[in-house]
């Protein structure tokens, strides 16, 4: 009897666990019709609300100017990280600025429709902005410093820029970010949502809205604790000749929720994931040694498009870091090739290939400054003798003979840190510490937990760590201006909870002027002169230094089921952005089954 009872109890326990786990029942996903993703969704989703925040729905809600994921909801334009251009999505043709860059006008594509069949109109764009303003969501906080209002002008969208004290637009480049970075929602649906919650901003932002009206090619299919899946809307407006001319190839999109990177990688190797967004150490061994049908955008190092530069920042709040020569000497002594080969397993161009500047390695940005003018200022690294000489000349020497140099009679001891568990960064910080050892400057690499780290480096002022790591913006419509600003603008000095830039609190009046001037400059020669000057200042002053180049999203594909992914020089100009980000979504229309 006892045995029976315990058996029944155990069974009940198991059944109840199963019942909890499978909150929403899994539906059929034929492998030959499904495109599986990896590395984009961690933990179960919260909801589908494009106006909300913290929906944790990686496959459809990832708004970033560099490439917004337009799977379910769509933006006006798509950013292409390859050529830096904007491609119309809901918008029709190019946008038009007025001469003062205070007003931007754009048309809406006549073919564009919502999933309920009604057309997308300028009113929807207006409502997106107005309701965002009302409920003060991320769109509002991100763009309200630059956008005054959005209006419907005879069926077109008119965006009025916010003006500064001098009557000039605050920042036209950030207005362009709005075009690629904000999901447009249907007016009727959004108003109904507001009415449902009696205009309670928090309730609106946290409503999961599983029934949201959308304009993109895929809608919700099912989601549970193990998997989230989307199904193609076969009435998608984009099959109109004015857009893609056909439907995307996969009928379903799915993302299994894995525990961590390792689990994801194992699934990717087994062909259970088609498109994987994760750093894979020595990715080439997957095909060279394991013979897997795996490919990356480029067949050889660096395997992807590197658009950002993980950077080591010097903390100017600490007096010893004010010494320009010390900053430069450390940066000169670091063995970058070693970082790139060991930490990044060669998935970055070297600083000999792409000499350092404020630009990322893309051709578009590299063309924006005068390479000869800054040639003498660029360093390749591992220049221990040069660094020692620089320090000796600056009077930073070892007087007491303990092997470490002193500043004002005190031994220099610097702490260099990055978050624990961020493998390639940790390895890079170790190598910065080694460079310090080589030139007689003590640098101790430490790895605080992420929780601790994020509060330290975003503080308005801190004297705990001398060197720390973060990346400036990568590719986006406002780049490279946005990067120059993030690297050196004094507007961030003393600002608490600062995630935007200049984490080391560097100050330079001239660079502030340049940062103000660039967005308002349209003449190309003038622009080039400004960027060259900014690069010069950055390389002379060394408020921070890049450690490597790195892709913003990793893109590796397993061609077990699908093929036809973007590859370098295929003539399609589709960026390797996981077949979903920005103009990268164009890849979905070229996919074919292997068999």
Partner 1 sequence: MKNTLRNVFHSPRFLVGFIIFMIILLTVLIYPWFVHRDPLQGLGKGFLEPGTYLSVYDANDTDTYRVELPEAAANRLEASLPTEDRQMMIDYLKAMGVDVSGLDTSNEKMEDLLVAWNANYDEADAKKNKYEGFATQAKRNALRRLDNKIKSSNSNVTMSVVKGEGDDATVKTVNGNDFVKVDEVANSVNLPLGTDNFGRDTLTELVEATGISLLIGLIAGSIATLLGLLVGLLAGYVGGVLDDILMFIANIFTVIPGFVLLILIYSALGAESRGIVTCAVIIGITSWVWTARSVRSQVISLRNRDHVNLSKLSGHSLFRIVTTDILPYIASYVVMAFILQVSSGILAEAQLSMLGLGPNPNELPTLGLMMNWAKLFGAYTSSNAWWAYFPVIMVIALISFSLNLMNTGLDQVFNPTLRD
Contact residues: partner 1, CB under 8 A: 262, 265-266, 269, 280-283, 285-287, 289-290, 292-295, 299, 338, 341-342, 345, 420-421, 423, 426-427, 430, 433, 444-449, 452, 557, 559, 563, 565, 567, 570, 592, 594
> CB of 484 within 8 A of CB of 515?
yes
Nearest CA among 97, 138, 112, 125 for reference residue 477:
97
Q: Which is nearer to partner 1, 73 or 468 (CB)?
A: 468
| Residue 392 CB neighbour total at 10 angstroms | 15
CB of 341 to partner 1, least distance (A): 4
Closest CB to partner 1 among 87 and 287?
Answer: 287
Strands 34-38, 275-276: parallel, antiparallel or unpaired by DSSP? parallel
User: How far is residue 207's CA from residue 193's CA, in Å, rounded to a whole number?
Assistant: 9
To the nearest whole angstrom, how small is the minimum distance from the Cβ of residue 284 to partner 1? Answer: 9
HSE at residue 291, side-chain half, CA atoms within 13 A, is 0
Query: What does the DSSP 8-state code read for residue 466?
Result: S
Structure tokens that stand for 169 in this block: 């637009």
Residue 136 or 573: the one with the smaller Cβ distance to partner 1 is 573
In the Cβ-directed half-sphere of 400, how many Cα atoms lie within 13 Å? 10
Least distance CB 17 / partner 1 (angstroms): 22
**Using the 8-state DSSP alphabet, how is residue 341 labeled?**
I
**DSSP letters for 380-443:** -S--HHHHHHHHHHTT---SSSSSS-EETTEE-EEEEE--TT-HHHHHHHHHHHHHHHHHT-EE
What whole-number distance in Å separates Cα of residue 510 and Cα of residue 490?
10
Q: Which is nearer to partner 1, 101 or 292 (CB)?
A: 292
User: Between residues 192 and 594, which has the closer beta carbon with respect to partner 1?
Assistant: 594
Residue closer to partner 1 (CB basis): 286 or 515: 286
User: What letter does residue 33 receive in the DSSP assignment?
Assistant: G
For 62-91, give one letter per residue: b (16+ CB within 10 A) or e. bbbbbbbbbbbbbbbbbbbbbebebbbbbb
Nearer to partner 1, 68 or 426 (CB): 426
CA distance 106 to 88: 10
Nearer CB in complex with partner 1: 3/259: 259
92 near 120, Cβ under 8 Å?
no
Q: Which is nearer to partner 1, 147 or 557 (CB)?
A: 557
- Give the integer Cα–Cα distance in Å for 228 and 241: 31
Q: How far is the CB of 471 from partner 1 (least distance, A)?
A: 19
Cα 377 from chain centroid (whole Å): 29
The angle at the Cα of 193, spanning 190 to 196, to the nearest 5 degrees, equals 155
Q: How far is the CB of 440 from partner 1 (least distance, A)?
A: 18
Least gap, CB of 505 to partner 1 (angstroms): 23
Q: Write out the E strands in 234-320.
A: 252-256, 275-276, 294-296, 311-314
Q: Closest separation between CB of residue 290 and partner 1, Å? A: 6
CB of 434 to partner 1, least distance (A): 8
User: In terms of Cα–Cα distance, which of 589, 572, 582 is closest to 238?
Assistant: 589
Name the minimum Å distance from CB 280 to partner 1: 5
CB 459 → partner 1: shortest distance, Å? Answer: 18
Q: Which contacts of 419-424 are long-range, i.e. CB under 8 A and separated by 24 or more positions? A: 419/447, 419/448, 419/449, 419/450, 419/453, 419/454, 420/447, 420/448, 420/449, 420/450, 420/453, 421/447, 421/450, 423/279, 423/281, 423/343, 424/279, 424/310, 424/343, 424/344, 424/548
With respect to partner 1, which residue has the nearer C-beta, 289 or 509? 289
User: Can the peptide bond before residue 302 be classed as cis, meaning omega within 30 degrees of 0?
Assistant: yes
Q: Which is nearer to partner 1, 164 or 449 (CB)?
A: 449
Q: How would DSSP label each residue in 174-200?
A: HHHHHHHH-----HHHHHHHHHHTTT-
Cβ proximity to partner 1, 175 vs 557, nearer residue: 557
Least distance in angstroms from the C-beta of 447 to partner 1: 5
Looking at the Cβ atoms of 237 and 297, the one nearer to partner 1 is 297
Cα separation of 308 and 292, whole Å?
29
Q: How far is the CB of 265 from partner 1 (least distance, A)?
A: 5
Cβ at position 278, least distance to partner 1 in Å: 10
- Residue closer to partner 1 by CB (options 276, 476) is 276
Distances (CA, A) of 579 to 273, 413, 564: 13, 46, 11
């Amino acid at each position: 009897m006892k045995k029976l009872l315990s058996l029944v109890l155990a069974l009940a326990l198991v059944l109840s666990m199963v019942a909890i786990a499978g909150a929403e029942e899994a539906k059929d996903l034929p492998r030959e019709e499904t495109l599986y993703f990896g590395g984009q969704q961690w933990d179960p989703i919260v909801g589908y609300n494009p106006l909300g925040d913290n929906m944790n729905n990686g496959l459809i809600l990832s708004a970033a100017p560099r490439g917004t994921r337009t799977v379910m909801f769509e933006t006006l334009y798509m950013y292409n990280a390859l050529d830096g251009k904007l491609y119309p999505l809901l918008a029709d043709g190019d946008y038009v600025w007025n001469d003062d860059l205070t007003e931007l006008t754009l048309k809406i594509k006549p073919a564009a429709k919502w999933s309920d069949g009604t057309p997308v109109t300028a009113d929807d764009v207006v409502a997106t902005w107005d309701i965002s303003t009302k409920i003060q969501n991320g769109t509002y906080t991100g763009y309200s410093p630059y956008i005054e209002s959005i209006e419907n002008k005879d069926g077109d969208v008119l965006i009025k820029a916010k003006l500064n004290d001098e009557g000039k637009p605050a920042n036209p480049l950030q207005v362009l970010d709005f075009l690629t970075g904000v999901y447009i929602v249907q007016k009727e649906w959004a108003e109904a949502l507001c009415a449902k919650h009696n205009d309670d901003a928090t309730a609106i932002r946290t409503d999961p809205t599983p029934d949201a009206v959308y304009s993109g090619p895929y809608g919700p299919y099912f989601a549970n604790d193990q998997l989230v899946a989307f199904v193609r809307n076969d009435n998608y407006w984009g099959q109109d000749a004015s857009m893609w001319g056909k439907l995307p190839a996969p009928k379903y999109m799915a993302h299994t929720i894995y525990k961590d990177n390792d689990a994801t990688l194992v699934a990717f190797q087994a062909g259970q994931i088609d498109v994987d967004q994760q750093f894979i150490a020595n990715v080439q061994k997957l095909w060279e040694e394991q013979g897997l049908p795996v490919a990356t955008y480029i067949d050889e190092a660096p395997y992807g498009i590197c658009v950002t530069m993980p950077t080591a920042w010097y903390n100017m709040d600490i007096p010893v870091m004010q010494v320009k020569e010390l900053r430069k000497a450390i940066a000169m002594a670091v063995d970058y090739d070693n970082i790139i080969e060991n930490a990044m397993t060669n998935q970055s161009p070297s600083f000999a290939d792409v000499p350092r500047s404020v630009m990322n390695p893309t051709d578009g940005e590299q063309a924006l400054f005068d390479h000869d003018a800054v040639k003498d200022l660029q360093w390749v690294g591992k220049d221990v003798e040069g660094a020692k000489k620089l320090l000796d000349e600056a009077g930073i020497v070892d007087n007491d003979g303990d092997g470490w140099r002193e500043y004002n009679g005190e031994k220099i001891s610097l702490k260099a840190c990055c978050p624990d568990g961020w493998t390639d960064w940790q390895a890079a910080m170790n190598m910065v510490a080694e460079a310090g050892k080589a030139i007689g400057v003590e640098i101790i690499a430490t790895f605080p937990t992420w929780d601790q780290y994020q509060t330290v480096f975003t503080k308005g002022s801190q004297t705990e760590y001398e060197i720390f790591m973060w990346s400036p913006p990568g590719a986006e419509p406002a780049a490279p201006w946005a990067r120059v600003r993030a690297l050196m603008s004094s507007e961030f000095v003393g600002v608490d909870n600062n995630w935007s830039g200049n984490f080391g609190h560097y100050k330079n009046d001239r660079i502030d002027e340049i940062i103000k001037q660039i967005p308002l400059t349209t003449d190309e020669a003038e622009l080039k002169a400004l960027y060259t000057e900014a690069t010069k200042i950055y390389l002379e002053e060394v408020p921070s230094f890049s450690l490597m180049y790195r892709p913003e999203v990793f893109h590796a594909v397993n061609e077990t089921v699908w093929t036809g992914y973007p590859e370098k020089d295929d003539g399609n100009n589709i960026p390797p952005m996981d077949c979903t980000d920005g103009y990268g979504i164009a890849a979905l229309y070229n996919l074919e089954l292997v068999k």
